[in-house]
Structure 1
Amino acid sequence: CSFLLNIYAEKGKGKINASMADCHEGHLPLFKLAISLGSFAVGPESMTNDAGLSYYGVISIGTPPQSFKVIFDTGSSNLWVPSIYCNSAACNNHAKFDPRGSSTYRQNGRPLSITYGTGSMTGILGYDTVTLFSILASSFCLSQTEAPFMQNMQADGIFGLAYPSLSLSSATPVFDNMMNGGLINLNLFSVYLSSNNQRGSAVTFGGVDTNHYSGSITWIPLSKELYCQITVDSVSGNGQAVACNDGCQAIVDTGTSMIVGPQSDIDNINAWLGASSQNGEYIVNCSNIGQMPDVTFNINGNQFTLPASAYVYQVQYSSCITGFGATGGNMWTLGDVFLKQYYSIYKRGQNMLGLAKAR
C-alpha cells in the first residue's frame, strides 16, 4: 500500500484550522519554542530519509536532555513532541517527554489543538530548553493526543518552520527566535532532501550549502507570508498547459510527501500521463516510466521540470503510482516529490524562496 504524508497546518478557512481546546487525557503535550541560543553563524542539521515519505532530524529537550526525532516542516510553525500524558497508539511507539525528569521544565498549562492536512493533535504548552546541534533553545509545546498518521512513522514530533502568523497560541517559531537574537549570519535556512533512501539530507540554518546544488539559484517572491506560499504560472507538459492554466497558489512544504493540487487539475495531469484512478491513487505501468513525459512547473518566468523518475513511485513489484495527489481545496502543495529535485532556500529576511537544481 502507499501512504501520503501531508503535514501542512491549516489556518482559517480551508488553510489552517488551529484552535484552543480543552486539554484532556489522551491529548498530546505540545512544546512551544522560544529560543535562547549560543552564538553561531551557520548550523547544519542532518536528516534521515524515512522511505521517501518524510525527513527527520534529532533534537533534545530538557535538562538532562531527552532526545526526539522531528520532521522539519515548512508547512507549520509550532514545535511539538509526545509526552508521558499521551496513551494513544501513535504515542506509545514513540519517545515521550517526561517533564518530571527535567530540572528546567516550566509548565504553562494552556490547552491547544492543531489540525494538519492528515490529522490533528491536542496538548498543553510548556517551557524548557531545546538543543539543536550546537544551538540551545528554550520553550516549546507538549502534545497529549496524536494523529494516527504518526503511528507508523519514525519521527516523534514536528518542528515547524513557517511564519509566526501561522503559529498557534502566539508561540514564536524557533527560526524567528534565531533571527531576532542575531544568532545566524543570514536570515535564511535551506533544505536538501536526498532521493531513493540515500543519506545526506540536511537543513542548514543561517546559510546555504553549495555541495547540495548545481547551477544558479532562482529567487521567487512569496505571495503570502504565512506558509512559504508562491504563485505558479502554470503546469505544463510537452509545451502545453496541463493544469493551473490561469495561475494558482502553491505552498512549498517539506512536510508533505507528494505534489498535491485541486481535484480537477490532478485528474487532468494524471489522465494526460495515462494513469488510471484506483481508490484515490493514480496507477501507471512501471515499465512505461522511461517513456513518460516531463512535467514542468512554470514559476515567476522560470521552468522547474520533473522527469517521470522523480514523480513515479513503485509501491509493489509491478505496481507504480504517480506523485500527484488531489485535495479538496484550490491550493497546491509542492512537497517532497518536487523538493527532492530542487534545493530550497527560505530567505525569511526578504520573504523570498530560492530554488536550485539539487545534486
Structure 2
Amino acid sequence: MGSQAEEGFWFGEIEVGTPPKTYRVQFDSLSSDLFLPGPSCKSSACHDHNIYNPRGSSTAQDTHRPFHIQPENNPEITIRCEIYVDTVIIGGLTVTTQAVGAAVDYPGSLASDEFPPDGVLGFAFPKLSQFGSRFTPLFSTLVARGLVTSPEFGVKLSQSDSQLFVGGVNSDSYRGDIIRTPVTEVGFWQISLDSANVNGNPIVSHRPAIIDTSSFAIHGPSRDVQRFYSAIPGAQDIGQGIWTFPCGSLPPLGLTFGGYPWAISPESFNLGPKSEGSSSCIGALVALDSDDLWLIGNVFLQNVYTVFNIETKEVGEANLK
C-alpha cells in the first residue's frame, strides 16, 4: 500500500467500520496497537482529525474495556481509550473483529498541526500490546488467519513514493540480496548494530539498536554521539544533544548491520543550516539519554529497503533500486 511522509511522519490510509471510513495512521514500529480519536474525545487536539465513531459502524462491538496507552516514543503522555472490535481494511486486506482503541482524550502533541495523521497503527511484536493478551495486533491477526502469504512486511521510505508492503516484499523496490539480522530481544524490532561508521571507519561498535519508523532522526547514547561527531572535521556540540558540521564537507557516513555497511546519504543526514545563512548544518544523529541503546529512525531507513519478519524474528535490509 502507498504511504507518504509529512513533517517527519510516515503514514498511510486504512479503512475502519461498516460502511468503511478512511483514516490516516502513522505506521509505528515501536507499538503494537491501533488507536484513533473516538467520539468522546473533547480535547482540542482531536479537532481536525477524522473521528472514529463506533455507533456509525454495524460491525463495531464494545468490549467494555477502558485502557490507557503510553506511546513508547513519548512515555510522558497517556492516552485513554475505549476498546472496540471492528472491521479494518489495510492494503485491500480485510480483518474482522480487530481491536481498535477509541481515544477519549488526545494530548496537545497529537493536535493536527503537530501530528498530521488521525491515529497510530503499531507493527511491533504482540508482546508490546497495551490492549492485553485478549487482543491480537493487526499484523499478527493477518498472519494468524492466513490472510497474507508471508509473515513479513516491507518498508520503503521516501518523500514521494513511500510504501508499506503487507505480507511479503516488493521486489520492484530493491535490488540484490536482503541481508537479514536476528532480533535480539522480542518486543521491539531490536537488532545488533555492528558499527556506526565515519569515512569507512567503525567509530562505535556492538550496540543494541531498535528500528524506529516513528522517529525521523537517529538517536544514540551521548558518549557514542560525541565519538561519532569527533570523527567529522569541524563538528560542534551546540547543546541539547544536537551537533553541527560544516555544510559542504561531510565525509561518508553509514551503519553496519548483518556484517554489511549501509551508507547514509548526505542529503538525509543534513537537516539544514542551524540558522539562515550559516555555514554550519545540523546533523541527524542526536544524543539520547541511554547507556548503550540506539534508535534507528527514518534518516537511515530512507536509504535502504527494510523487511520485518514476525515469525523468523529478523530485520532485513537491501539496497534500493
Q: Same fold (TM over 0.5)?
A: yes
Residues 105-152 of structure 1, C-alpha deviations (whole Å, 9 max, x = no match): 211232222222224422121111112232222322111222333222
1:192 partner amino acid: K
Q: Confirm or deny: 8 A CA contact 1:285 1:318 kept in the other structure.
A: no
Residues in 2 aligned to 1:267 and 1:101: alpha-carbon distance in whole angstroms = 53
The match for 2:117 is 155
Residues in 1 aligned to 2:121 and 2:282: alpha-carbon distance in whole angstroms = 29
Q: CA deviation at 1:58?
A: 0.7
Matched, 1:293 2:251: yes
Residues 150-194 of structure 1, C-alpha deviations (whole Å, 9 max, x = no match): 222221111101101111122211111111111111111101101
Matched, 1:311 2:273: no
Equivalenced residues, count = 306
Counting only pairs closer than 5 Å after superposition, residues 156-195 of structure 1 correspond to structure 2 as: 156-168=118-130, 169-170=132-133, 171-194=135-158
Q: Confirm or deny: 8 A CA contact 2:93 2:147 kept in the other structure.
A: no
Counting only pairs closer than 5 Å after superposition, residues 161-310 of structure 1 correspond to structure 2 as: 161-168=123-130, 169-170=132-133, 171-194=135-158, 197-198=159-160, 200-243=161-204, 245=205, 247-273=206-232, 274-286=235-247, 288=248, 291-310=249-268
Q: Tell me the TM-score normalised to structure 1 length.
A: 0.80
Structure 1 120/332 Cα, relative in aligned 2: closer, same or farther at 3 Å?
farther
Residues in 1 aligned to 2:173 and 2:213: alpha-carbon distance in whole angstroms = 16
Residues in 1 aligned to 2:21 and 2:251: alpha-carbon distance in whole angstroms = 47
The match for 1:75 is 30
Structure 1 48/300 Cα, relative in aligned 2: closer, same or farther at 3 Å?
closer
Structure 1 183/90 Cα, relative in aligned 2: closer, same or farther at 3 Å?
same
Residues in 2 aligned to 1:87 and 1:76: alpha-carbon distance in whole angstroms = 24
The match for 2:318 is 356
Q: CA deviation at 1:280?
A: 4.2
Task: Work out which of the residue numbers 78, 85, 88 in structure 2 matches 1:127.
Answer: 85
Matched, 1:327 2:288: yes
Q: Tell me the TM-score normalised to structure 2 length.
A: 0.89
Residues in 2 aligned to 1:94 and 1:107: alpha-carbon distance in whole angstroms = 22
Q: CA deviation at 1:103?
A: 1.9
Residues in 2 aligned to 1:331 and 1:122: alpha-carbon distance in whole angstroms = 29
Q: Percent identity?
A: 28
Q: CA deviation at 1:278?
A: 4.0
Residues in 1 aligned to 2:21 and 2:297: alpha-carbon distance in whole angstroms = 30
Residues in 2 aligned to 1:147 and 1:213: alpha-carbon distance in whole angstroms = 38
The match for 1:8 is none
Q: Indicate the SS of the match to 1:145.
A: coil
Structure 1 93/267 Cα, relative in aligned 2: closer, same or farther at 3 Å?
farther
1:266 partner amino acid: V
The match for 1:3 is none
Q: CA deviation at 1:259?
A: 0.7
Alignment RMSD (CA, Å): 1.9
The match for 2:105 is 145
1:334 partner amino acid: I
Q: Confirm or deny: 8 A CA contact 2:308 2:316 kept in the other structure.
A: yes
Matched, 1:54 2:9: yes
Q: Confirm or deny: 8 A CA contact 1:71 1:159 kept in the other structure.
A: yes
2:10 partner amino acid: Y
Q: CA deviation at 1:47?
A: 0.2
Gaps of 5+ in 2: none
